[in-house]
Amino acid sequence: MSSPKTHSRARGKTAQGSSLRLADPYLERERGRYEHPLPSRDWVLEVLQKEGVPVEPQHLFELLDIHQEEEHAFMRRLNAMERDGQIMLNRRGALCVVEKLGLIRGRVQGHPDGFGFVIPEDGGGDLFLGPWEMSKVFHGDRVMARETGTDRRGRREGAIVEVLERAHARVVGRLLEEHGVCYLVPEDRRLTHDILVPSDARMSARGGQVVVAEIIEQPDRHVKPVGRVVEVLGDYADPGMEVEIALRKHELPHVFPPAADALAKKLPTGVRKADWKGREDLRQLPLVTIDGETAKDFDDAVYVEKEGRGYRLYVAIADVSHYVSHGDALDIEARSRGNSVYFPRRVIPMLPEELSNGLCSLNPQVDRLCLACEMAIGPRGDIKDYRFYPAVMHSQARLTYTEVAAIIADPGGEGARGALVPHLLNLNELFRKLVAARERRGAIDFESMETRMEFDAKGKITAIHPVQRNDAHRLIEECMLAANVCASDFLQSHDHPALYRVHEGPTPEKLQSLQEFLREFGLHLSGGDSPHAKDYAKLLDQIRGRPDYPLLQTVLLRSLRQATYSPKNVGHFGLAYEAYTHFTSPIRRYPDLLVHRAIKAVLAGATYVPGDWATLGQHCSETERRADDATRDVEAWLKAYYMRDRIGERFVGTISGVTGFGAFVALDEVYVEGLVHISELGNDYYHFDAARHQLSGERTGQRFRLGDRIEVKLARADLETTRLDFVPADKQRNA
């Protein structure tokens, strides 16, 4: 928005202007914020609405008595209002209130096939964008759109009116060259534009290489986007390239800023005498860490002792908040990252290694600062009492899940750890009580399959193995759940704001679809319109052992919503807790660090104010999803590379997903997933039934349903799309 022409002399005050400006109901608020207060955004909107027609900027200046020396600052405010979608300029350059225009503010969600949607910020229904409208924008852009009608499928259609905010300043992709024209094909398939790269803007990149381009011209209805190569990553199949691409595609921060790096290097290498102040000494307790074989950052240590018929459980968590202060360079970067990201063979830590693997990590045989949660637990596994306090600890051993499971199974075996064995047996005994309490509570216990990849010297997969969860995994999980519940109760009982880990039950629509699906199997989920976790757990127990159990469990799991972070406590449906937080992993999760600071504030009789808790919750939920998306991309690429030499081989698998365009199949033993496209299912018209999770042939009546067993043949392994394409192994039966 350009500034209106100004007078050669200061604008004179008008009676109307003075009275309008002084009538701003938010004037005192503005005076409290600024030395020279301007009319508030709310008042600007109200004045524009009262005018009833689009207003020339010059006229608005006169209405609100904006002095010449204030014009620049006031224009910045109007520009910000335009960026936020509150106002906009029409073709004649007059200011309009967006709400009056019936426009919809939202984010563009692109689709690899060239179309997209506007996802409204107010939660309303999506607007469909055809390829022509998508030519003006990138996936992720924030826009103003107008509803233009409905398409032949009954979807609301939209047209882009204005782009409020561009989502992409840089894009990673492959540089290609055809007929002398050089262009970049983005790795993110939702960015459907090819980005032109002038010959003098390609650095030293060769055709086919992976590069990062800075967007120097954004797309609009008349021109394609134009980019300039700013980083050459290398060839597509170079070792580790899949991670480098994912980092840039998902805009994951992966280099610590100099200020954060410098601050980390200034920290001590161990606990100092000054750090002891106000802390209890737990160094004599035989606390141990129990983690996976490859773990390097140890957040938590545990110890249990018998106490009459009950138990006393100590959960000691790394005191990251002692070293990372609110608002310092380390905190700002940790907040930006939100969490550590765990790729196969590489970790992008939330904190520099000096802290994550060193000073904060509860490494064995060294003193470490911790925040302890000490719990008194009854003989039935119920938490009777607890307390939080800062302490100093000394881990007696770094144990692995495999090692602990072996000791529990055979306490006198070769792997036994001498004096630690009785403590581990106490821990196992308490674990059994906690599991019994979980079952009484009615928490849902879904069975899941995790895998571990083996790599060669070049960083490519040589084998994929299933990872079996043993009792040691569950033992630590139950101890952490207990500490997390105490943390939420502690903050709630002291009326201190916090980020809760919330998990809501099924939506009415998903619940209806689930009940319809279960009826086909003669099953029913109890609980009516508001089932509880106990109803899910009861049904899972009922069907456990059935041959179709994996199918039924998958459908039950997909009926639930995704867990998020929020200051509004709505409980955790899956765990059957009325309140739940994340407290036990502050090295790798920012919400846990916030909870630590809040607990310490309560202990000190103060209140921790990190900013807007709701905004922080949304941000941490988004960074968690970003990390999940990035790791999925990397694993998909590695698996496609692994399978590309097995074209034509036959495999047996299970249908793991059904869509309108085909069925996804998860292979036995190989542990990869691919698509059987609907066109490969046979010479028939196949119809998708979302409620029944199946595709059924119109003529043959043949069904392909979630959970069905199927033999397939690998037809294609595409590294660029990371897609595996299967065909039924015996297509004759589908003819």
Q: What is the tens place of the pLDDT at every residue in 702-713?
A: 899 888 899 999
pLDDT, one tens digit per residue, over 133-163 is 999 999 999 998 888 888 888 888 988 888 8
Residue 543 is assigned to a structural domain of this protein: no
pLDDT at residue 18, rounded to an integer: 62
Q: Please give the structure tokens belonging to residue 580.
A: 């739940």
Residue 529 is assigned to a structural domain of this protein: no
- Mean pLDDT, residues 622-641 taken together: 94
pLDDT at residue 64, rounded to an integer: 86
**Strand 87-89 with 95-97, pairing:** antiparallel
pLDDT at residue 735, rounded to an integer: 38
Share of the chain above pLDDT 70, in %: 96
- In this structure, the answer to whether residues 23 and 93 fall within a common structural domain is yes
- In this structure, the answer to whether residues 131 and 227 fall within a common structural domain is no
- In this structure, the answer to whether residues 382 and 443 fall within a common structural domain is yes
pLDDT at residue 24, rounded to an integer: 84
pLDDT at residue 11, rounded to an integer: 44
CA angle 662, 668, 670 (to 5 degrees): 100
- Report in angstroms the alpha-carbon separations of 314 from 476, 597, 600: 12, 20, 18
Angstrom distance (rounded) from CA 358 to CA 298:
9
The 8 Å CB, 24+ separation contacts for 202-206 are: 202/175, 202/229, 203/229, 203/230, 203/232, 204/232, 205/175, 205/229, 205/232, 206/175
- In this structure, the answer to whether residues 72 and 94 fall within a common structural domain is yes
pLDDT band at 247, cuts 50/70/90? very high
As a whole number of Å, the end-to-end CA separation of the chain is 62
pLDDT at residue 10, rounded to an integer: 41
- In this structure, the answer to whether residues 321 and 448 fall within a common structural domain is yes
Q: Which of 202, 236, 270 is the last residue before a domain boundary?
A: 236
- Mean pLDDT, residues 104-132 taken together: 90
H helix intervals, 461-562:
471-493, 508-519, 533-543, 549-558
- In this structure, the answer to whether residues 83 and 192 fall within a common structural domain is no
Angstrom distance (rounded) from CA 574 to CA 563:
9
Residue 455 is assigned to a structural domain of this protein: yes
pTM for the predicted model, two decimal places: 0.84
Q: Please give the structure tokens belonging to residue 46.
A: 């109200």
> Measured on CA atoms in the order 343, 345, 351, 355, is the torsion positive or negative?
positive
Residue 55 is assigned to a structural domain of this protein: yes
CA 122 to chain centre: 21
pLDDT band at 363, cuts 50/70/90? very high
Q: How many CA atoms lie within 13 A of 404 on its CB side?
A: 29
Residue 137 is assigned to a structural domain of this protein: yes
176 has pLDDT over 90:
yes
306 has pLDDT over 80:
yes
pLDDT band at 416, cuts 50/70/90? low
- Mean pLDDT, residues 173-177 taken together: 93
What kind and span of H or E run contains 364?
Answer: none
Q: Which segment, 81-90, 231-240, 544-553, 589-598, is predicted with the most confidence on average?
A: 589-598
Angstrom distance (rounded) from CA 381 to CA 20:
66
Nearest alpha-carbon partner for 168 in 104, 99, 250, 111: 250
Number of domains composing the chain = 5
7 has pLDDT over 50:
no
pLDDT at residue 6, rounded to an integer: 43
Assign residue 341 a region: left if phi > 0, alpha if psi is -120 to 50, beta otherwise? beta
48 has pLDDT over 90:
no
pLDDT, one tens digit per residue, over 657-677 is 899 999 999 998 888 999 999
pLDDT at residue 598, rounded to an integer: 98
- In this structure, the answer to whether residues 490 and 403 fall within a common structural domain is yes
- In this structure, the answer to whether residues 227 and 368 fall within a common structural domain is no
Q: State the CATH number of the domain containing residue 227.
A: 2.40.50.700
Q: Which segment, 79-88, 544-553, 708-717, is predicted with the most confidence on average?
A: 708-717
Residue 448 is assigned to a structural domain of this protein: yes
Residue 517 is assigned to a structural domain of this protein: no
Strand partners, 144: 105, 162
- In this structure, the answer to whether residues 80 and 177 fall within a common structural domain is no
Q: Which of 626, 655, 681 is the last residue before a domain boundary?
A: 626
pLDDT at residue 721, rounded to an integer: 84
429 has pLDDT over 70:
yes
Residue 241 is assigned to a structural domain of this protein: no
Q: State the CATH number of the domain containing residue 728.
A: 2.40.50.140
CA angle 325, 327, 329 (to 5 degrees): 85
- Mean pLDDT, residues 684-698 taken together: 88
Q: State the CATH number of the domain containing residue 58.
A: 1.10.10
pLDDT band at 2, cuts 50/70/90? low
Higher pLDDT, 190 or 17: 190
12 has pLDDT over 80:
no
- Mean pLDDT, residues 53-75 taken together: 85
Q: Please give the structure tokens belonging to residue 455.
A: 């790599």
- Mean pLDDT, residues 65-70 taken together: 85
pLDDT band at 351, cuts 50/70/90? very high
pLDDT at residue 403, rounded to an integer: 92
- In this structure, the answer to whether residues 411 and 482 fall within a common structural domain is yes
- Average pLDDT value for the chain: 89
Angstrom distance (rounded) from CA 210 to CA 188:
13
657 lies in which domain range? 647-734
Angstrom distance (rounded) from CA 630 to CA 546:
35
CA 597 to chain centre: 22
Nearest alpha-carbon partner for 402 in 504, 470, 356, 352: 470
pLDDT at residue 16, rounded to an integer: 55
Q: Which residues of 531-566 are buried (b: 16+ CB within 10 A; e: fewer)?
A: bebbbbbebbeebeeeeeebbbbbbbeebbeebbbb
- In this structure, the answer to whether residues 214 and 95 fall within a common structural domain is no
pLDDT at residue 477, rounded to an integer: 95
- In this structure, the answer to whether residues 716 and 658 fall within a common structural domain is yes
pLDDT, one tens digit per residue, over 250-305 is 999 999 999 999 999 999 999 999 999 999 999 999 999 999 988 889 999 999 99
Q: Which of 113, 140, 165 is the last residue before a domain boundary?
A: 165
What kind and span of H or E run contains 495?
Answer: none
pLDDT, one tens digit per residue, over 381-403 is 999 999 999 999 999 999 999 99
pLDDT at residue 85, rounded to an integer: 77
pLDDT at residue 734, rounded to an integer: 41
pLDDT at residue 211, rounded to an integer: 96
Q: Which segment, 417-426, 435-444, 608-617, is predicted with the most confidence on average?
A: 608-617
pLDDT at residue 1, rounded to an integer: 64
- Given a contact cutoff of 8 angstroms between Cβ atoms, the answer to whether 139 and 169 are in contact is no
Cβ partners under 8 Å of residue 259, min gap 6: 329
H helix intervals, 267-299:
none
